[in-house]
Structure 1
Amino acid sequence: MSYDKVEVPEDGEKITAVDAENDELDVPENPIIPIIHGDGIGQDVGPAAQKVLQKAAEATGREIHWMRVYAGESAREKYDENLPEETVEAIREHRVAIKGPLTTPVGAGFRSLNVALRKKLDLYANVRPTYHLDGVPSPVKEPEKMDMVNFRENTEDVYAGIEWEEGTDEVEKVREFVEDDMGFDETIHQGAVGIGVKPITEFGTKRLVRKAIDYALENDRDSVTLVHKGNIMKFTEGQFRDWGYEVAEEEYGDEVITEDTLWEEQDGEQPDDAVVVNDRIADNMLQQLLTRTENYDVLAMPNLNGDYLSDAAGAQIGGLGIAPGANFGDGRVLAEPVHGSAPKYAGQDKVNPSAMILSGRLMLEYIGWEDASQLVRDAVEATISSKKVTYDIERQIEGGEKLATSEYADEICKNIEDLA
């Protein structure tokens, strides 16, 4: 495809799909990777992440050819719109990309630019690994017990956005339908009301759970936990649970065993090379994140539960400034940090870029560059352990050296050189 306002690197090669459904890609040693620096602090963390990821690629004998694309404020300056089709097509064509945080302006035509990108590209699994790096302050006593990967469904649930505003003719029609036609006449209080519909489908659930189980099998994880509120919402979240078990029992054979079978037939002894699939009620799972952290490995959740649980897990390892994330589709990934754009700090060369750097690590792992991915993690951890950190961590530790965003990225690059 030709682009109007995007420059395609001449020396790089495209990543192509061999079998997109099974995430099999043909990745050259010099791939073209689109990058959106992002809004607000994106102008700081985007270039910092780009520098570190490039250094890790070079240290392992490769080179990334970055393709700058635009969304949010930078897109408004170039295209006079927030999410130009060129940006979407660039990511679609090149399959692997990374972005910084985006702010959706009021009245922009989108509830969220982030959600719009995920939907347009069908990036249906939001994946957030949560692990503690040595030296990062944490509010819990043993943050090292957290080593969890959250799979959050990205396209359904309350984020599908089917709702009606109070005082409108439409909401009164829905109220009438619910109360009179469906017989739930005591469900809704009288007076003003807003009503929303929460869709959870078999298709959306099964492909998300499939992704989570595949990840667990490929990465030697012991369990996949379906997190839901099915005790109350029996036909949406309860169905998520049931469909999840159907995937496990019907598609994976001896590779997967349910928790019930584990105890009824195996006396609690997990077979080698088998993943245990279990389920937990969402509110109980929030408690067990703290009380039984080490018992959980991979979580698979509907959209809203995944939002809550992944942020809560991130808090245990030091907060969203450290927490990485990425959105996965079939043969496609868009890495992005969990945190927002924090416009009041924009351009100050101050904030912590670790979350975007570690999101890039996920991207490297996805394209099969495990050596470069591990270098990034080890170098970030070595930098933090040496107490050469950005202001957010420096103020919480004794004897720290406060670095600017760019200086911190340079320090990580030095550690990559030393570790390579």
Structure 2
Amino acid sequence: MIMHRHNYGLGWWVLLSPSDMMYMVALPRNVIARSKIFQAAEAPIEWEEHYVGTEVDPRTQSFLTWESLESVRRNRVGLKGPMTTPIGKGHRSLNLTLRKELNLYANVRPCYSLSGYKTRYDNVDLITIHENTEGEYSGLEHLVVRGVVESIKIITRQASISVAEYAFHYAKEHGRKRVSAIHKANIMQKTDDLFLKCCREVAEKYPEITYEEVVIDNCCMMLVKNPALFDVLVMPNLYGDIISDLCAGLIGLDTKLQHWRGRYLLRLYMIQHLILLER
């Protein structure tokens, strides 16, 4: 860990988490390059570097160190490298642990066409915002009997209201005209219905913004036919993970530009590359 003495009134003090140690050789370049860009621009930023993924910290009971979590809480902003999760075995997702520990409830991913970069679409300009701490990613799975595994989807009013409030506030602050709530309430009649009720409640506070509800499978079809139909999309966790990757494909990217927003102005930025794991 590299610590810098710094007068907080003179600039920004930022957490830099290059990558988990399993992929340190291949994947931290995007984060390190960005720190060099800030240096070249003479931005008043000093970096704290925290490496995770080497061993379990008994204070957090995860591969995330106590110092790394405290750094984000103290500095309120961070730049994070990719964190991989073993498929079907191994430790719990470090990203999931990080979101829960810091209550980073909103996952914000911009998607817009890049000037001079030719793709199938040249009119993409949308934002996906999804709840970041619960849903199917609550991490609650267990074996019922041999051959039967159960996974629990959790949707709460508090989390749904929070992400809906953030989506509408974001739309208003950035001059967006429409918020679309993406759901599967025709099948998930309890969980997704609660999410929609919360979105409707928040929508009433923003009469200047058009509100609509779109079933997720129909949303996918509409996105690939005409992405210009959408502006800001808000949705539960799993749907957002899928939709945001679809949107990245619309503009020809294999990376996801995103930041996680938490309470007390916590922000954690990251670029998530496609990671291929050998099995």
Which residue number corresponds to residue 236 of structure 2? 302
The offset of 1:69, in angstroms, is: 1.2
Q: 1:198 aligns with which of 141, 149, 153?
A: 153
1:65-76 mapped onto 2 (5 Å cutoff) = 65-73=46-54
Which residue number corresponds to residue 210 of structure 1? 165
Which residue number corresponds to residue 329 of structure 1? 262
1:17-416 mapped onto 2 (5 Å cutoff) = 28-39=9-20, 40=23, 41-56=26-41, 58=42, 62-73=43-54, 82-104=63-85, 110-138=91-119, 140=120, 142=121, 144-167=122-145, 192-249=147-204, 252=205, 256-257=206-207, 274-321=208-255, 323-330=256-263, 331-341=265-275
Task: Judging by fraction of residues, say which structure has more strand.
Answer: 2
Taking structure 1 as reference, are residues 49 and 343 closer, same or farther at Cα in structure 2, changes over 3 Å only?
A: farther
- Residues 1:7 and 2:2 are matched in the alignment: yes
Which amino acid is 1:7 matched to? I
Which amino acid is 2:259 matched to? A
Task: Judging by fraction of residues, say which structure has more helix.
Answer: 1
Unpaired segments of 5 or more residues in structure 2? Answer: none
Tell me, yes or no, if the aligned pair for 1:12 and 1:64 is still in contact at 8 Å. no
The offset of 1:293, in angstroms, is: 1.2
Partner SS for 1:325: strand
Aligned equivalents of 2:172, 2:110: Cα separation in 1: 16
Bigger shift: residues 195-204 or 36-45? 36-45
Percent of residue pairs identical: 33
The offset of 1:219, in angstroms, is: 0.5
Taking structure 1 as reference, are residues 75 and 101 closer, same or farther at Cα in structure 2, changes over 3 Å only?
A: farther
Aligned equivalents of 1:8, 1:304: Cα separation in 2: 36
- Aligned-residue CA RMSD (Å): 2.4
Deviations 1:169-205 (A, max 9, x none): xxxxxxxxxxxxxxxxxxxxxxx32222211111110
Aligned equivalents of 1:11, 1:155: Cα separation in 2: 33
The offset of 1:137, in angstroms, is: 4.7
Taking structure 1 as reference, are residues 234 and 106 closer, same or farther at Cα in structure 2, changes over 3 Å only?
A: closer
Tell me, yes or no, if the aligned pair for 1:35 and 1:66 is still in contact at 8 Å. yes
TM-score for both structures, normalised by structure 2: 0.88
Tell me, yes or no, if the aligned pair for 2:31 and 2:79 is still in contact at 8 Å. no
The offset of 1:35, in angstroms, is: 0.4
Taking structure 1 as reference, are residues 301 and 37 closer, same or farther at Cα in structure 2, changes over 3 Å only?
A: same
TM-score for both structures, normalised by structure 1: 0.60
The offset of 1:54, in angstroms, is: 3.3
Aligned equivalents of 2:157, 2:114: Cα separation in 1: 37
Tell me, yes or no, if the aligned pair for 1:34 and 1:66 is still in contact at 8 Å. yes
Unpaired segments of 5 or more residues in structure 1? Answer: 1-5, 14-27, 169-191, 258-273, 345-420
Aligned equivalents of 1:314, 1:71: Cα separation in 2: 27
Partner SS for 1:324: strand
